[in-house]
Structure 1
Amino acid sequence: MEQTWRWWGPKDIISLAHVRQTGATGIVTALHDIPAGEVWTKEAIMERKRFIEDAPDLGLRWSVVESLPVAEPIKIGEGDLTELFDNYRESLRNLGACGVDTVCYNFMPVLDWARTDLAAPVAGGGRGLRFNQHEFAAFDCYILRRSGAEADYSEDVLRRAKVWFQSSDEEVRAKLLSNIMAGLPGAFDRYDVEGLKVILGRFKNVSTERLRENLKRFLDEVVPTAEEAGVRMAIHPDDPPWGLLGLPRIVGNEDDLAFIVGAHDSLSNGLTFCTGSLGANPKNDLPAMAARFAGRVNFVHLRNVTKDPDGSFAEAEHLGGDVDMVGVVSALLQEQKRRKDAGDPRWRLPFRPDHGHELLDDIGKPTHPGYPAIGRLRGLAEIRGVMTAVSQLQGLPV
């Protein structure tokens, strides 16, 4: 599997030289300065590609786009979408022409990943990301004051949410909003409470069924172009994999993935297999899902979570959580062998260590939440060890 690293562009405090020191050779990045819905020009793509690849001693390549964002009106199914679809198709053509041929995207309404604590303590003084169900409920019910929000939470969670809210002050509440908004990377908008109410209002008539219809329409519009451009798309699962703030989410379980891959029988309509996002759903059997959908996996995020009975979860050590990482890696290495034996020139699956704990002297550095260097380096090294062991024991290409 191709070892890659998410890099936030030329202003990232983790340099390309640092990335190469981790052992990664593939870069996962995006043109975050271009707003969702606008065209990625060949000139802009090549400028970033040259920046990554023009240092021959590093031997890096731009392996994966993460993400080419889908504009909110497409998810809503709102208004005349002709220009947005045209722009997305043009961006895919330009990426393919520039040799950047794997595109990760998501279809999560409003929020990308959501956490309530960006610095939850871990053993030895490190810090990690955590989603506390009662804190999110406190935000939803008492700060946002969304109508009908109480119906989405258990009595116990609501009780603890009320206690949390009553004991908090404005500074703590503002910090919670900031933490929840931190999952919107790059050029995406952040919302205050009133702004969040406005964008949620635009989704008020979008049910689970309608959001699925809108995703199907998106795939109908763009997958044929991706095929022509030689681009393999990879939808990212919802994080967490259930509805938030009254918004439906449709990429969170085995049935959802089956619907998506069934929408177009094409490797250009593929998946990002994220063990952290899917792993937060206690009903998901990750090794079984990896085996079932391996033929349509185009990109892999490997991280781990520990889950609580109330729906809360914490991001764990890469080999230390609830997810059977060895089982997942084994299924994906088996798929690599199948692709190689079939003569697929792009048989190696790109993967990256997703998120990581703040450890050692990374603690407190201004990295993107979840993306410190040392924690991800540790995760990459651990997964590299699993890959090496599995490949040797089973005779699989790594």
Structure 2
Amino acid sequence: MKLGLGLYAGMATEENLRFAKQMGATHIVAHLPGQETFLSSASGVWSFDDLARLQRQVAGAGLALYAIENFPPHHWDQILLGDPGRDAQMENLKATIRNMGRAGIPCMGYYFSLAGVWARVKGPFARGGAESVGFLRDQMPEETPIPHGEVWGTKITDDASPGALGTVTHEQMWERLTYFLENLVPVAEEAGVRLAAHPDDPPVPVLRGTARLITHPDHYKRLVEIVPSPANGLEFCQGTVAEMEGSDVYAAIRYFCERRKICYVHFRNVKGRVPNYREVFLDEGDVDMIEAMRIYHETGFDGVLLPDHTPATSCAAPWHAGMAFALGYMRATLKHLGAG
């Protein structure tokens, strides 16, 4: 197993890459990359030159770029919406995946959703009042319908027709996901890139009138069976799986690791489940994280584990301190198990 760190847009700096190296990470997952990571998204395709430059930047810090996480919404909104422009966008995604393969970037994380991550609240939920995020049913904002021209809470165009999407059913969303996988997985397999699906966060069946796809481990099973391929894999958000109603996170880890479906892991802990849960430090949640790590090791998982996000501590560098705690905990656990 490999220890990784995720860097959001604006964070792929020399200082943060040095921090990752200093904390014992060996791999980087670049989330929602923007101009600061040299990736221009205006054309709908990430070019080989831009991807190779990002790869070199990470390698220059003594790290490996393991994955890019999430296509920009305007790269694939027509695919998510099932609109007429989806074929053209699919050709662009294929070009991006081929360029990733040429650049030696092995994974592309994605989250197939219209509402995206929505309705989370911040609060002093972790030990000692450290600020983290949660989902609390009685604190949810009003579930207004998603306006035309919006995906993932992002306004895509000023030319959208008035009104809102209205109801989008599970059947419609599964059809769109099937189109996505049937078209992109063969290209990814040929390029040597694995597609890695993130579950719905929060894992509720419907949000803002639109169906959610991955709200139970059984839905992950359905996804990987649509196109059986090593390139059709999972971005296994362990925290989200633990939040799911009726899920057994340990059984899910074992099932998907034994089948070699997990590309990389968001290793975080929570207290509670849908409809009320809070993210906490790794050592204080409902999941026995040492037991979880033991299952990854026992089943031969050889991908990357990263903290995802962590509670922010009360100091001058809250993000860095939270990540340092998480990475130290994970590194010590790997050493204890003889896995790192």
Q: Which residue of 1 aligns with 2:77?
A: 72
1:313 to 2:313 alignment:
no
Following the alignment from structure 1 to structure 2, what is the Cα–Cα distance between the partners of residues 126 and 234?
30
Structure 1 residues not aligned, in runs of 5+: 148-180, 338-347, 366-371, 392-396
Q: Is the aligned partner of 1:356 residue 2:310?
A: yes
Correspondence 1:389 to 2:336: yes
Distance of 1:9 and 1:51 partners within structure 2? 15
Q: In structure 1, what residue type is equivalent to 2:212?
A: R
TM-score, normalised with respect to structure 1: 0.74
* Mapped contact 2:216–2:245 kept (Cα < 8 A): no
| SS of match in other structure, 1:201 | coil
Q: Map 1:1-398 onto structure 2 (within 5 A).
A: 1-8=1-8, 11=11, 15-30=16-31, 31-33=33-35, 34-35=40-41, 38-54=44-60, 58-69=61-72, 71-112=76-117, 114-117=119-122, 119-136=123-140, 139-140=141-142, 144=144, 189=154, 201-202=164-165, 204-242=166-204, 243-294=206-257, 295-307=260-272, 311-336=275-300, 348-362=302-316, 372-391=319-338, 397-398=339-340
Q: Deviations over 1:77-97 (max 9, x none)?
A: 111311100000000000000
User: How far apart, CA to CA, are the structure 2 residues paired with 1:280 and 1:235?
Assistant: 17
Q: Distance in 2 between matches of 1:350 and 1:198?
A: 43
- 2:337 and 2:34 mapped to 1: Cα distance? 36
C-alpha deviation, 1:73, in angstroms = 1.8
Pick the structure with more strand per residue: 2
CA positional deviation for 1:199: 9.6
Dislocated runs of 4+, deviation >6 Å: 197-200
Which is richer in helix?
A: 1
Query: For the structure 1 residues 116 and 222, does the alpha-carbon distance in structure 2 shift closer, same or farther, using more than 3 Å as the test?
Result: same
Q: Which of structures 1 and 2 has the bigger CA Rg? A: 1
CA RMSD of aligned residues (A): 2.8
Q: 1:198 to 1:288 in 2, by over 3 A?
A: farther
CA contact (8 A) 1:237 1:273 kept: yes
Shift of 1:72: 2.3
Q: Tell me the secondary structure at the aligned position of residue 64 of structure 1.
A: strand
What's the CA shift for 1:10?
Answer: 5.6
Indicate if the aligned counterparts of 1:301 and 1:352 stay in contact, CA closer than 8 A: yes
Q: Distance in 1 between matches of 2:6 and 2:17?
A: 10
The structure-2 alpha-carbon separation of the partners of 1:120 and 1:283, relative to structure 1 and needing over 3 Å to count, comes to same
Output the CA distance in 2 between the equivalents of 1:49 and 1:111.
27
Contact 1:362/1:373 (CA < 8 Å) preserved in 2?
Answer: no
CA distance in 2, matches of 1:257, 1:238: 11
Q: Give the secondary structure class of the aligned counterpart of 1:240.
A: coil
In structure 1, distance between residues paired with 2:29 and 2:52: 15
Letter in structure 2 aligned against 1:256: H
CA contact (8 A) 1:36 1:69 kept: no
1:37–1:64 CA distance, 2 compared to 1 (3 A): same
- Report deviation, 1:380: 1.6
Deviations, residues 107-135 of structure 1 (Å, cap 9, x unaligned): 02132354122x43533342111222111
Could you tell me how far 1:200 is from its partner in structure 2?
8.4
Structure 2 Cα separation of the partners of residues 87 and 42 of structure 1: 13
Q: Are 2:46 and 2:99, in contact at CA under 8 Å, matched by a contact in 1?
A: yes
**Shift, 1:69, TM fit:** 4.3
Q: Which amino acid aligns with 2:6?
A: R
C-alpha displacement at 1:253, in angstroms?
Answer: 0.8
**How far apart are residue 270 of structure 1 and its match?**
0.3
Secondary structure of the equivalent of 1:97? Answer: helix
Corresponding position of 1:153: none
User: 1:68 offset after TM fit, Å?
Assistant: 3.0
Q: Is residue 28–residue 66 contact of structure 1 (8 Å, CA) maintained in 2?
A: yes
Give 5+ residue unaligned stretches, structure 2. Answer: none
Instruction: Count residues in correspondence.
Output: 324
State the 1:387 CA deviation. 2.3
